[in-house]
Chain A
Amino acid sequence: MAERTQKQKPTPARTEETVTDAPAGAPQGEKLKAELDDLLDEIDEVLETNAEDFVKSYVQ
């Protein structure tokens, strides 16, 4: 049997991308940075307060 060389494209798993609000015309990099900034603000609230001690005491 002849080997098929044509690569079959599988159906993309995600057919629809959710687009979150970005300032019109904002480049992708800017938008990502804004998202990460928001996330970091949020994360600052829940982070362990004494990172040094926390990391040191985590021994398995």
Chain B
Amino acid sequence: MAIAKVCGIETEYGIQVRGAESNPVAASSVLINAYVSGVLRKVSWDYEDEQPGNDARGFRYEDVFAPETETQLVNAVLTNGARYYVDHAHPEISTPECINAWDVVRWDRAAEEIVRVSMDRARRLLNDGSEIVTYKNNSDGKGNSYGCHENYLVDRATPFGRIVSQITPHFVTRQVFCGAGKVGSELAGTSSQAVPYQLSQRADFFEEEVGLETTLKRPIVNTRDEPHCDPQKYRRLHVIVGDANMAEVSTYLKVGTTAIVLAMIEDDMVGSDLAVANPVSAIRQISHDPTLTRTVLLREGKRVTALELQWSLLERAQKYERSHGLESVGEAVGLDVLARWETVLSGLESDRDSVAGWVDWVAKERLVNAFAARHDLRPADAKLKALDLQYHDLRADRCLARRVGLETLVGDDDVRTAMTEPPTTTRAYFRGRCLQKWPNDIVAANWDSMVFDVGRDPLRRVPMMEPLKGTAEHVANLLDDCATAAELLSRLGS
């Protein structure tokens, strides 16, 4: 049976300084420090177990890749179990490990609020009229892209080749309901006149079907093999092919459907007949066609639209639910995802406006078209590009996405508590609670361990190799009972 689909999202935010000269790395550091110094003693990230050069196909790049993150840059771990850091000259937040798509939406929304608070504090600290502004999008419109990556726990026993071939059709077509929308095209040789508007922020940037890169020659399936947990039992599928979403339902469907399809692959219930003949050109063709009528060639010779391929996946997922259940993705959330998956495909097919509250690219397209008509603008006019950018502006008073009637899934109270509280159902609980309780005794933390300094040498590392251990059920009483970190360590027997 499929294993629990522990999952999370990492978002790199676009950043711009208004009213002063600054470089993006410095601005990102100011932003994060403004938040971190206000809320907790800074606990550093521990790089001990980071191996971004490992390739899931079985080989390893020793010298090809520089470390992904320069270690001198700001890198903090938060009491909600998240990581907040500077990566590639962008501020980035990785959500804590979650057990279902709803939790991912909750902690992703909390991440947005954390960035929003950071902007407010930075403005007050700078106190010179300048302002650091962030954008939750994936492109500057000039060929530079930054990522929104998802991670899913998968069973090491599942052949990686099967994952690659069977998840690719979903990655190529899921953009119909989780694309964030983009004015114009950044694909060399494609004019904005030819593509005035497209489904995805990221589709223009994918050049390979499979590979280890994340910033150059981006692959649809990324092969980084860095599980951050027991490597004998698990893989972490690192997904770089998604857009950052403003619409909560888009994030929910993106993560929820992908978790279900991965569970189906583990149980060998997808089949190979949906393989797309040329995934790289297909992902662009689908993105470049907001009418959703263009067909792509399957390896078996048939031509299908993205929606037809999605209907096939949904039907298989419904059948899978009846035969296997959806425990691995959270039964209740899984059933809700299946229902919404059907609703969104029906809406996209027959009544586009009915899903404008769920799907970013649909909401943005309506706005762009109405604005262009009112001001008599040509396709891809600078004003439309500005409108596109401002859809993703995280300042509450500027953000256009907040005004277009997107449906919210997570209430304000749940978002607010998730800014400081970890999920209770994964090891993030142990990480977050320890940071809340004993910040002065923790010298470093990362996904799969925490390092304590309780005044006696040597430093004590507590390994957390099982993503589903260290939950509230396992350790809440223990953490409540221990008065000091030293007592915790002694009771853990480490």
Check B430 for interface membership: any CB of A closer than 8 A. Answer: no
CA distance A37 to B353 in the complex (A): 15
Nearest-neighbor residue (CB-CB) of A28 within chain B: B353
CA distance A12 to B319 in the complex (A): 17
Nearest Cβ on chain A to B384's Cβ, whole angstroms: 8
Interface of chain A residues 1 through 17 with chain B (CB within 8 A):
3-4, 7-8, 10-14
Residues from chain B with Cβ under 8 Å of A54 in the complex: 386, 389
Q: Please tell me which one of the listed residues B14, B144, B390 contacts residue A48 in the complex, with CB atoms under 8 A apart.
A: B390
Check B322 for interface membership: any CB of A closer than 8 A. Answer: yes
Check B482 for interface membership: any CB of A closer than 8 A. Answer: no
Residues from chain B with Cβ under 8 Å of A7 in the complex: 315, 318
Return the CB mask of B316-354 against A: 1 if under 8 Å, else 0. Answer: 001100100000000000011011101100000000010
Return the CB mask of A20-49 against B: 1 if under 8 Å, else 0. Answer: 000000001000110011011011001110
Quick check: B400 and A43 within 8 Å, CB to CB?
yes
Check A59 for interface membership: any CB of B closer than 8 A. Answer: yes
Check B403 for interface membership: any CB of A closer than 8 A. Answer: yes
Residues from chain A with Cβ under 8 Å of B140 in the complex: 58-60
Quick check: B390 and A59 within 8 Å, CB to CB?
no
CA distance A47 to B383 in the complex (A): 9
Q: Which of B61-69, B295-303, B363-371 contacts A (4 or more CB under 8 A)?
A: B363-371
Quick check: A55 and B144 within 8 Å, CB to CB?
no
Lowest 6 CB-CB distances: which A-B pairs, in order? A10-B339, A51-B386, A60-B140, A36-B370, A51-B383, A13-B340
CA distance A22 to B261 in the complex (A): 41
Residues from chain A with Cβ under 8 Å of B336 in the complex: 13
Check B475 for interface membership: any CB of A closer than 8 A. Answer: no
Check B304 for interface membership: any CB of A closer than 8 A. Answer: no
Beyond A36-B370, A40-B371, A47-B386, is A8–B90 a contact (Cβ under 8 Å)?
Answer: no
Check B398 for interface membership: any CB of A closer than 8 A. Answer: yes
Residues from chain B with Cβ under 8 Å of A11 in the complex: 335, 339
Interface band, chain A: 20 to 34
Quick check: A14 and B343 within 8 Å, CB to CB?
yes
Quick check: B24 and A60 within 8 Å, CB to CB?
yes
Residues from chain A with Cβ under 8 Å of B342 in the complex: 10
Q: Please tell me which one of the listed residues B319, B389, B398 contacts residue A4 in the complex, with CB atoms under 8 A apart.
A: B319
Nearest Cβ on chain B to A28's Cβ, whole angstroms: 8
Quick check: B370 and A58 within 8 Å, CB to CB?
no
Residues from chain A with Cβ under 8 Å of B489 in the complex: none
Quick check: B318 and A8 within 8 Å, CB to CB?
yes
Quick check: B400 and A55 within 8 Å, CB to CB?
no
Quick check: B385 and A51 within 8 Å, CB to CB?
yes
Check B374 for interface membership: any CB of A closer than 8 A. Answer: yes
Nearest Cβ on chain A to B200's Cβ, whole angstroms: 17
Check B141 for interface membership: any CB of A closer than 8 A. Answer: yes
Residues from chain A with Cβ under 8 Å of B15 in the complex: 60
Nearest Cβ on chain A to B437's Cβ, whole angstroms: 38
Offer 19 A-B interface pairs, CB within 8 angstroms, sorted by A. Answer: A4-B319, A7-B318, A8-B318, A8-B322, A10-B339, A12-B343, A13-B336, A13-B343, A36-B367, A39-B403, A40-B370, A40-B374, A42-B403, A46-B390, A47-B386, A47-B387, A54-B389, A57-B16, A60-B90
Which of the listed residues B24, B319, B386, B398 has the most CB atoms from chain A within 10 Å of its own CB? B386
Check B456 for interface membership: any CB of A closer than 8 A. Answer: no
